[in-house]
Amino acid sequence: METPATAEELPLVLTLFPFPHIPKIKEEFSKKFTTLFNKPENSISLQQFLTTNPQSPSVRVLISYPKTPVTSEILNCLPSLGCVLTVSAGTDHIDLVDCRRRGIAVCSAGTIYSEDVADFAVGLLIDVLRKISAADRYVRAGLWPVKGEYPLGSKLGGKRVGILGLGSIGSEVAKRLEAFGCIISYNSRNKKLSVPFPYYSNVIDLASNSDVLIVSCELNKETFHIINKDVMLALGKNGIIINVGRGALVDEKELVRCLVQREIGGAGLDVFENEPNVPKELFELDNVVLSPHKAVLTSESFEALHELILANLDAFFSDKPLLSLVKND
């Protein structure tokens, strides 16, 4: 009978947040790996924690999340690191260039969240167009019997929807909105030959030919503030912006200004530039729907994420192909 490995013999995994949460995954995880956890309540920085912890040189895998950047300084503290697993679909919080230089593999959440985020994007759009949240507040405030009928909303069917980033999320959004009778066009790094929708290489041209812009692309140096003042003005005073990507894809100051001055028609925002801080000017606007970065948050997606991370860990320590490897060109 094989003797179970002791905690000291198990591979060491550093987690930057409490993981795993799901009991059956937690039990399996604890049998295979030893966890080094930097508790959020620590008064010292992650770099200080790693510098002073004697286990840091033995860490083989880092499980990260977007609120804690994985910088070259952090990587310097982890000389045995071979893989970074992030719980997000995006990797803008990870120094991919330095990971490539050091031969460190990076895995994302892949397409785990795509359907949930697409559902949420469509939900935000319907809410903005039909004024669902605003009408709910109107009823709860007792204004219906006092002020009478609530203002008209706008139909979704027939709207021209421009999708910025036709990856796994954007494609799921397009699939859903086609069923509503929307007219889809898109902008991506490259034209997709297998896609029947009109392609615009310029985001301003996409905005000029859209009633709605749905932002679902990756955040990087090229896409930072890709939705700027010129794009918003091209979208027009009836246009709507839905952002389920990253907050910094949109120039937030210009967005607030355009909304307050009615230079665009409305917005549905799940992400912001300085989370959890949201511009207070947006709180008073009934043509804006706000959400606390929760498009990915479903019990189903979390269970699938846990299973994916465990499968990637098993693959890494078995020297097998990783399931959601980020192409680090």
**Domains (ranges, CATH) in the chain?**
12-112+299-317 (3.40.50.720), 114-290 (3.40.50.720)
Catalytic positions, written as ranges: 246, 275, 293
pLDDT of residue 140: 98
- Predicted TM-score (pTM) of the model is 0.92
Q: What's the mean pLDDT in 175-180?
A: 98
Percent residues over pLDDT 90 in the chain: 90
Provide Rg for the chain, Cα atoms. 22
**What are the beta bridge partners of residue 63?**
15, 85
Percent residues over pLDDT 70 in the chain: 96
* Per-residue model confidence as pLDDT tens digits over 187-242: 999 999 999 999 999 999 999 999 999 999 999 999 999 999 999 999 999 999 99
Q: Does 6 have pLDDT greater than 80?
A: no
Q: Does 1 have pLDDT greater than 50?
A: no
Burial class (CB in 10 A: 0-12, 13-18, 19+), 73: middle
Give 98's contacts (C-beta < 8 A, 6+ positions apart): 71, 72, 75
